Chain A
Amino acid sequence: MIEIEHLTKRYGAAAIVDDVSFRVEEGTVAAVVGTSGAGKSTLLRMINRLVEPSAGRVLIDGQDTMAIPEDALRHRIGYVIQGYGLFPHRTVAENIATVPRLLGWDRRQIAARVEELLDLFGLDPAEFAKKFPHQLSGGEQQRVGVARALAARPALLLMDEPFGALDPVIRHKAQDELLSIQRRLGTTVVLVTHDMNEAFHLADRIAVMNQGRLLQYAAPAELLTRPAEAFVEQLVGSAERPFRLLSLMRVQEAVEPGTAEGEPLSVADTLHDALSRLIWLGREVLPVADASGAPVGRISVSRILAHGRARA
């Protein structure tokens, strides 16, 4: 768990990050969003002390980060940036081994960890371990960047626009992959992004920043239904709101008793996906099945639309 308390950064008279406080629970993903220059990167970099705060403090599992020597602190925190910053003169395996090597792991332990991570990220060790960064595609570099950050099993992972340089298809795959790995390892993630879809797709909670101030820190659905300020409403995109809301909910939540003709939807599909299918097939209702394929009821366009409506 990480607690950010009254964190402030001033350059001269300008407060780039202005009295920001929030808390990220163990094993959850927090996204920091906001326009360019809002102070997102500065906030993130104060967590691992790449930037020294002017005021306020950061607690990791209750411990003040100022009490930990900065290099030791950074060994415990994974860090991924846009462009990944892979070492061009080191192989993929050597890049991933960076922090374990600094921590003095023995050679066999490091080799085993590198192999495990390459497997985890779907990169065949036999093919990729010996490659150099310039021999990788953008998507492969991104995966190596995240694998390197996770090498020493940090409980906390900081990511600054980690998917910014990827094309939409690869980006979506990388996001799903990150999410599944994060769920599996239980890593706490703080992620800075420009991309609202990404924030809604990945985050348990979203922090909206503007001009150094934290405007709202809330679950995605709450950001949509109860925006704290006009700026938040504008940022989440008023035209997109119902669709964003629907993609946060599962068919499970809108299923009704009864039967219908056609290929069944899964209870795990989002309402957004379900609506797309209904519109595309020109149907009012479709059957719903559970994970094992057993029918559990049906879903209708009107029930879905009711879920995408503003609440009082």
Chain B
Amino acid sequence: MNTILQTTVPGMHSSRSHIILDRLGSVIAVLISIALFAAPFATYRANRIVAGEGRMLTEALPTAGALGVTAVILCVALCAVLARAPVIRLAAAAAGLGAVFPALGWSAGFLTPAGNTFARVSPALGFWLLTLALALLAADALTRLRLGPLARLAALAVAAGAIAGLLLSGAWNDLSLLKEYANRADSFWREARQHLWLALGSMAAACLVGLPLGILAHRFRALRAAVLQVLSIVQTVPSIALFGILIAPLGYLAAHVPLAAALGIRGIGAAPAFIALFLYSLLPVVGNTVTGLSQVPPAVTDAARGMGLSRRQRLLEVELPLALPVILAGVRIVLVQNLGLATVAALIGGGGFGTFVFQGIGQTAIDLVLLGAVPTVALSFAAAVILDAMIDLAKGPSHDRD
């Protein structure tokens, strides 16, 4: 423990042995030590809403299991501090996660008295800290590996596969989170579809409208300032307020236009949520389209004109391909933002994962909150990785020097 703490001195070098201690690795090691020895690993509750009691790792698992997991995690910490090769660091992080995640499921089974269906076990601070430390280690190793876009997508697929495997294997079934899921599996998938529809649908609509609008704004200077200003103002309206603002006109529309009502447009529900997300999405799409197009080198557009490419050919063959990485960066912002914001839709009856979050808050059932929050975070993370890879692919061979 002492030696591990010493390593936190930034940039300290052990001059005698010439071992170079990794700075981030030292932070990770400290996090791990706190998680293992000073924080509860799991929380036990007699039923789903009473206050919980923390259980240290040593109490949460059979002795041999606790020792085994502790040993594995300490080895990982050692690797984080001493190992330089990113591959080793990545393998260490993977091994650590491979120990901690099943251990959580195991602890749930171990802590729940046999036959007791009311008792709940959920992850506690120690588990979260370990996950954070190991994720940091993995992320740092992946960054240092400088994986290409396809390799990053493959890594994402492997991680998703591992999590799916863990969930399908039933290893986590005793965990409170999965018990909450089991109680509402149908509504979970319904809300998942709704969440994706809200986030992806509004993004697609924003692209359909925003891309042409961005192209026009790029072409006509007067339009540009006006459009960007209006969209910036929309962006500053807080989401709840925007949902609220939309309720009144949509309610009016539903009451007075039969077609709107027939289409399912109502003052509350998915329609105002969809429209609000769509409005928020416009600025990044339009703004990045304008920026991307304006970054095309003037010599390139001049040469294109000089060679007799028509307006349309210039746009499709030169300007849009060169602006694509910047436009995709806008789409990435929209996607990550919408996946998060779509949770707020539940407040006005729009559905989505937010439904569980707000139900959970109402019932002070933290695991229900997690049932909504964890998939949201995971989706945002996956969307960011996928879009980043697409951006790199769009930059393509014309940028492979940097």
Contact = CB atoms under 8 A, between A and B. Distances in A.
Co-complex (A, B): yes
A87 interface: yes
B397 A75 contact: no
Contact of B303 (A73, A75, A86, A134): A86
A50 B303 contact: no
Contacts of A86: 300, 303
Interface string B315-330: 0001001100000000
Nearest to B305: A50
A184 interface: no
Contacts of A149: 307
A85 B299 contact: yes
A98 interface: yes
B5 to A, nearest CB: 49
B297 interface: yes
A229 to B, nearest CB: 32
Interface residues on B, range: 20 to 34
Interface in B297-311: 297, 299-310
B318 A71 contact: no
Interface residues of A, number: 29
A85 B305 CA distance: 11
Interface in A70-113: 70-75, 79, 81-89, 98-99, 102
Contacts of B302: 50, 81, 85
Interface in A44-88: 48, 50, 70-75, 79, 81-88
Contacts, number: 70
A71 B300 contact: no
Given A134-B398, A134-B401, A85 B308 contact: no
B303 A81 contact: yes
B308 A72 contact: yes
A176 B142 CA distance: 52
B396 interface: yes
B294 interface: no
B300 to A, nearest CB: 5
Given A50-B305, A134-B398, A88 B322 contact: yes
Choose among B303, B309, B318, B401 the residue with the greatest number of A CB atoms under 10 Å from its CB.
B303
B295 to A, nearest CB: 11
14 contacts: A50-B302, A71-B308, A75-B307, A75-B308, A81-B303, A85-B297, A86-B303, A88-B398, A99-B308, A102-B308, A102-B309, A134-B401, A145-B303, A149-B307
Interface of B: 297, 299-310, 313, 318, 321-322, 396-401
Interface of A: 48, 50, 70-75, 79, 81-89, 98-99, 102, 132-135, 145, 148-149, 158
